Structure 1
Amino acid sequence: MDLNIIYKNKENYYNLANNYFNQLDSDELEINDLSVIFPKSISILIDHDFIPTPCIEIKLNILQNQKEVGDYFLYINEKKEFIDEFLVMY
């Protein structure tokens, strides 16, 4: 994987993750219109127990009323094809 390409296009990767996140059923997940989603990190996974690797992990942070309430993880391959997603609400 070319880290320079990922770094130069990081906004595109965050937008991709945001698009996938927006496809989730927000009523079922108790995420409301007042939630704020912002980019947290982009990582390269080399080894993982249940995610095919190598892949790219894009993490978004979820805020409600200025308090962190969860994280959304999108896993994609080098061609930006969906591998998996994971939502953690605390």
Structure 2
Amino acid sequence: MNSYKDILDKKEDFYSLAITYYYNIDQEYIDHISRIVPKSISLLIDHEFIPTPCIEIKLQLHHKEENEGISSYYLYVNEKKEFIDEFLH
């Protein structure tokens, strides 16, 4: 697994990767979003249904009309930034 420093040095790359994956979701849902806010990057060591270890990238999605957080998008990748899973909540 990448060191903490490697992840910190490349955090903008991780957020960009998550945004790219998010835009592959159903366009109808995306049309209601006005802003995507990077929230966190975490190392996942143990998880019930996600293969671990992996990196979790969280984005907060803001509604177009109210401009408030309405949901979150999570992207899970391995140390090579390869897709593992995603979750829209």
Q: Using the TM superposition, name which of 71-80 and 60-69 deviates more.
A: 60-69
Quote the Cα distance in structure 2 between the aligned partners of 1:21 and 1:31: 9
2:52 alignment partner AA: T
Query: Percentage identity across aligned positions?
Result: 53
Structure 1: 4+ residue segments shifted above 2 A: none
Counterpart residue identity of residue 47, structure 2: H
Matched, 1:86 2:87: yes
SS of 2:27's equivalent in the other structure is coil
The 1:24–1:47 alpha-carbon spacing in structure 2 relative to 1, beyond 3 Å, is same
Shift of residue 26 of structure 1? 2.5
In the alignment, the residues of structure 2 paired with residue 21 and residue 7 of structure 1 have an alpha-carbon distance, to the nearest angstrom, of 21
User: Please, which runs of 5 or more residues in structure 2 have no aligned partner?
Assistant: none
**Counterpart Cα distance in 1 of 2:26 and 2:33:** 15
* Alpha-carbon distance in 2 for matches of 1:58, 1:26: 21
How many matched pairs?
86
Task: Please give the per-residue CA displacement for 1:17-73, whole angstroms capped at 9, x wherever unaligned.
Answer: 00000111121xx33265211100000000000000000000000001221110000
Counterpart of 1:56, as a letter, is I
Partner of 2:72: 71
By relative contact order (CA 8 Å, sep 6+), the higher-ranking structure is: 2
Look up the match of 2:48. Answer: 49
TM-score normalised over the length of structure 1: 0.90
